[in-house]
Amino acid sequence: MEFRLIDRIRERTVLARGDVRLGIGDDAALLVPPAGQELAVAIDTLVEGVHFPHGTPPRDIGWKGLAVNLSDLAAMGATPAWALLALTLPRANAACVDGLADGFAQLAQEHAVALVGGDTTRGPFCLSIVVHGFVPPGQALTRAGARAGDAVFVTGTLGGAAGGLRLVQGRLPFDPADEAHRALRARLDRPTPRVRAGLALRGHASACIDVSDGLLADLGHLCAASGVGAQIDPNALPVPSALRGVFGSAAARELALSGGDDYELCFTVPPADVGAMQAALAAVDGKATRIGTIVEGQGVRALGNEPLAAARGGWDHFGL
Amino acid sequence: MEFRLIDRIRERTVLARGDVRLGIGDDAALLVPPAGQELAVAIDTLVEGVHFPHGTPPRDIGWKGLAVNLSDLAAMGATPAWALLALTLPRANAACVDGLADGFAQLAQEHAVALVGGDTTRGPFCLSIVVHGFVPPGQALTRAGARAGDAVFVTGTLGGAAGGLRLVQGRLPFDPADEAHRALRARLDRPTPRVRAGLALRGHASACIDVSDGLLADLGHLCAASGVGAQIDPNALPVPSALRGVFGSAAARELALSGGDDYELCFTVPPADVGAMQAALAAVDGKATRIGTIVEGQGVRALGNEPLAAARGGWDHFGL
């Protein structure tokens, strides 16, 4: 039943790759993995009202759906290649589908990602996207390699997306004429997956994760997977000037610690490799800020050694 | 945020495969595709109330979610290998998650499918599943190879799932004490993906599709992709005896023509290959019934050459 909607999406997302034997339109896509590479595969779902506010422009949703998945590949140091999209909509809405496909295609083109498969169904508005990337054997960045003494870095800035969410939720009303407001909103709606930075970190980072749930939560996951703790300096966190301008320094730091949806990379580097890592990042116009150090033990603490309570930042997802 | 739910699922779906370098728990799975094979990838979403009735046991939903995806691989003649699951639930419900994982695992084990990634989010009850399979280059069964004169076959029986749906929807109330009712309900809730039949058809079938939307619709897709038409004999359709018993012969034939969700394979075979195909199918305990012939032109017609109207069968998905 999905044929016509998916055809619409296909037309707007055409991107030729030699390794796609058969794309959208049959029972499955047929792909040719490159010889001698590992395949990195990730899936993420975005639900209206949970991962993006009601009324978000479809183009932004399409962009963000792909961005959060490419961010997972970036965190592995993988080169993106193929994506599949499962789209659920309450009713066939051509304008929404077109916008979504256009936003998706815009980011896909930047990273030479081909949409090779899809499914459209009727139901509450949500989308699941799957991405595939390549990485040479043994070179993937996992969460598990951090050792005591490693330096902790983060790319870009933190807290901006959470600030944008606050504006959207109207705690402080969003003012489209305000440049700082627009900058924060863009951090929420149009995150930039750090794909090139992730590739540059191969061979340098000992562990890596993308910041989707908030720095404290995600660095906590990295530490748990590596069997270590971390000590961070809350004053060292890179915060967008727009965030500080709109919310003040204290709130900005809090959002940088706990706010989600920034899709920056948080990674660890052995002290001897820091210089080489910075050079590799600079070569791809990447930038990272040192925010702390890996220590023995467990958990994420501030420099003075107090534990940092993770205030609820981004969206209210759930655990069990 | 998905960590604890997904851990629960992981524990219940453990299956070791040597080609899984890194499974659930990092930003992406790391997989090792077999050298010299093509990768077949499919995605399908199931939404509560659209693809399964409210109140369907979670075990059946987990089974069916994987089954409909494996059916796509079967239709390509691919050997299943890896799956990812994106699960959206209104609230963290351990019993539901456990049941779902158990139903998924039961079918996954049968086909040596490893669950390598997942995402759990809060939202309306739905799940997207992605499956990966392998197929030797050039040997995949597509929809596009049927030629005039080819025989049209279908595996198993048709219409049973649509009959089960009628019972669930209460047009004729479901009676759990009635063996025929239970048989039809099982066709709806626990479809059998024809994986082994799909593999046996490689080198014999000229085109293949799985029957998810109903025979007329899906054979129509196959004909459109191949640029041909088909003539079928409605009286030759294999119908479950339970279906005929409960609904009568005329309604049974109608459901077999138009009802969805049977997940049988509909395929075409050049006349000279029919014997070899039947032997290959028999070797895997498969069975197929000849239901018609591919002809020049387009569309699916009955033997007497009247066009067959596709009555609305299964679920009300949408096109645009």
Residues spanned by the domain of B260: 151-302
CB contact residues (below 8 A), chain B span 70-109, against chain A: 72-73, 75-76, 78, 82, 84-86, 88, 91-92, 94, 97
Q: What DSSP line would sit under B249-268, residue for residue?
A: HHHHHHHHHH------EEEE
**B130 Cβ under 8 Å from any chain A Cβ:** yes
Contact B50 A123 (CB under 8 A): yes
Residue-level length of chain B: 320
In a domain, A314, yes or no: no
Contact A51 B121 (CB under 8 A): yes
- Same domain membership, residue B251 and residue B187: yes
**A126 Cβ under 8 Å from any chain B Cβ:** yes
Report d(CA A49, CA A55) in Å as an integer: 9
**B170 Cβ under 8 Å from any chain A Cβ:** no
Contact B27 A72 (CB under 8 A): yes
- Nearest CA to A21 among B65, B136, B238, B6? B136
Name the percent of chain A lying above pLDDT 70: 94
Give the β-pairing of B229-232 and B299-302: parallel
Residue A82 and residue A114 in contact, taking contact as beta carbons nearer than 8 Å: yes
Largest CA distance in chain A: 60
pLDDT digits 0-9 by tens, B145-176: 999 999 999 999 999 999 999 998 877 788 99
Q: Which two tokens stand for residue A208?
A: 């890596």
A90 → chain B, closest CA residue:
B318
**A31 Cβ under 8 Å from any chain B Cβ:** yes
| Arithmetic mean of pLDDT, A170-179 | 86
Report d(CA A120, CA A88) in Å as an integer: 6
**A227 Cβ under 8 Å from any chain B Cβ:** no
Q: In angstroms, what CA-CA distances link B243 with A110, B255, B294?
A: 53, 9, 27
Residue ranges of the annotated binding site of A are 27, 44, 51, 72, 118-119, 143, 210, 212-213, 261, 315
B3 → chain A, closest CA residue:
A319
Residue A134 and residue A270 in contact, taking contact as beta carbons nearer than 8 Å: no
Residue B137 and residue B39 in contact, taking contact as beta carbons nearer than 8 Å: no
Amino acid of residue B176 = P
- Same domain membership, residue A219 and residue A127: no
Tell me the CATH number at A82. Answer: 3.30.1330.10
- Same domain membership, residue B159 and residue B120: no
- Same domain membership, residue B184 and residue B116: no
Partner residue facing A22 (CB), from B47, B142, B319? B142
Partner residue facing B122 (CB), from A116, A121, A318? A318
**B139 Cβ under 8 Å from any chain A Cβ:** no
Contact A121 B92 (CB under 8 A): no
Average pLDDT score, chain A? 92
In a domain, B160, yes or no: yes
Partner residue facing B319 (CB), from A50, A92, A123? A92
Residue A27 and residue A118 in contact, taking contact as beta carbons nearer than 8 Å: no
- pLDDT of A140 strictly over 90: yes
In a domain, A313, yes or no: no
Average pLDDT score, chain B? 92
Contacts of B33 in chain A (CB under 8 A): 33, 39
Asked which of B135, B164, B199 is the last residue of a domain, the reply is B135
Bridge partners of A137, per DSSP, are none
Contacts of A86 in chain B (CB under 8 A): 43-45, 86, 128
Q: What DSSP line would sit under B191-235, residue for residue?
A: ----HHHHHHHTTT-SEEEE-SS-HHHHHHHHHHHHT-EEEE-GG
In a domain, A143, yes or no: no
- Same domain membership, residue B175 and residue B122: no
Residue A142 and residue A222 in contact, taking contact as beta carbons nearer than 8 Å: no
- Confidence at residue B305, expressed as pLDDT on a 0 to 100 scale: 64
- Same domain membership, residue A160 and residue A113: no
- Same domain membership, residue A286 and residue A172: yes
Alpha-helical runs (H) found in A190-294: 195-201, 215-226, 241-247, 249-258, 274-283
| Arithmetic mean of pLDDT, A209-230 | 97
- Same domain membership, residue A283 and residue A167: yes
- Confidence at residue A186, expressed as pLDDT on a 0 to 100 scale: 94
Q: Which residues contact B203 (CB under 8 A, 6 or more apart)?
A: B139, B280
- Same domain membership, residue B91 and residue B201: no
Contacts of B51 in chain A (CB under 8 A): 121
Which of A51, A128, A135, A226 best probes binding to B when mutated, by most B CB atoms within 10 angstroms? Answer: A128
For residues A150 and B119, which has the higher predicted lDDT (pLDDT)?
Answer: A150
What distance in Å separates residue B99's CA from the closest CA in chain A?
Answer: 15
**B35 Cβ under 8 Å from any chain A Cβ:** yes
Read off the pLDDT band of A318 (50, 70, 90). Answer: very low
Give the β-pairing of A299-302 and A288-295: unpaired
Tell me the CATH number at B221. Answer: 3.90.650.10
Contacts of A84 in chain B (CB under 8 A): 41-43, 130
Which of A27, A38, A121, A122 best probes binding to B when mutated, by most B CB atoms within 10 angstroms? Answer: A27
- Confidence at residue B139, expressed as pLDDT on a 0 to 100 scale: 97
In a domain, A106, yes or no: yes
pLDDT digits 0-9 by tens, A24-48: 999 999 999 999 999 999 999 999 9
Report d(CA B44, CA B299) in Å as an integer: 26
Q: How many CB atoms lie within 10 A of CB B306?
A: 8
Read off the pLDDT band of A241 (50, 70, 90). Answer: very high
- Nearest CA to B167 among B53, B30, B295? B53
In a domain, B217, yes or no: yes
Collapsing DSSP to helix, strand or coil, A300 comes out as strand
- pLDDT of A313 strictly over 60: no
ipTM attached to this prediction: 0.92
In a domain, B310, yes or no: no
Question: H-helix or E-strand containing A54?
Answer: none
How many Cβ pairs closer than 8 A exist between chain A and B? 239
Q: How many CB atoms lie within 10 A of CB A112?
A: 12
What distance in Å separates residue B179's CA from the closest CA in chain A?
Answer: 32
Angle B249-258/B215-226 helices, nearest 10 degrees? 40
Q: What is the 3-state secondary structure (H, E, C) of A154-210?
A: EECCCCHHHHHHHHHCCCCCCCCCCHHHHHHHHHHHCCCCCHHHHHHHCCCCCEEEE
B98 → chain A, closest CA residue:
A320
- Confidence at residue B310, expressed as pLDDT on a 0 to 100 scale: 52
For chain B, what is the domain count? 2
Collapsing DSSP to helix, strand or coil, A71 comes out as helix
Amino acid of residue B58 = P
Report d(CA B206, CA B151) in Å as an integer: 10
Give the β-pairing of A299-302 and A229-232: parallel
- Confidence at residue B289, expressed as pLDDT on a 0 to 100 scale: 98
Report d(CA B91, CA B93) in Å as an integer: 6
Q: Which residues contact B12 (CB under 8 A, 6 or more apart)?
A: B98, B101, B102, B105
- Same domain membership, residue A172 and residue A129: no
- Same domain membership, residue A200 and residue A79: no
**Alpha-carbon dihedral angle through residues A102, A107, A113, A119, given to the nearest 10 degrees:** -40
- Same domain membership, residue B216 and residue B90: no
In a domain, A76, yes or no: yes
- Confidence at residue A13, expressed as pLDDT on a 0 to 100 scale: 80
Contact B29 A40 (CB under 8 A): yes
- Confidence at residue A314, expressed as pLDDT on a 0 to 100 scale: 42
Report d(CA B306, CA B121) in Å as an integer: 49
Identify the weakest region by mean pLDDT among A69-78, A304-313, B125-134, B294-303.
Answer: A304-313
A23 → chain B, closest CA residue:
B41
What distance in Å separates residue A242's CA from the closest CA in chain B?
Answer: 27
Amino acid of residue A188 = L
- Confidence at residue A311, expressed as pLDDT on a 0 to 100 scale: 46
Contact B44 A126 (CB under 8 A): no
- Confidence at residue B3, expressed as pLDDT on a 0 to 100 scale: 47
Planar angle of CA A48, A52, A53, nearest 5 degrees:
85
- Confidence at residue B306, expressed as pLDDT on a 0 to 100 scale: 65
Q: In angstroms, what CA-CA distances link A21 with A16, B41, B145, B202?
A: 10, 12, 15, 17
**Alpha-carbon dihedral angle through residues A254, A240, A263, A11, given to the nearest 10 degrees:** 140
Partner residue facing A26 (CB), from B1, B84, B143? B143
Partner residue facing A86 (CB), from B72, B97, B128? B128
Report d(CA A205, CA A209) in Å as an integer: 11
Residue numbers in chain B where pLDDT is lower than 50? 1-3, 311-320
A121 → chain B, closest CA residue:
B317
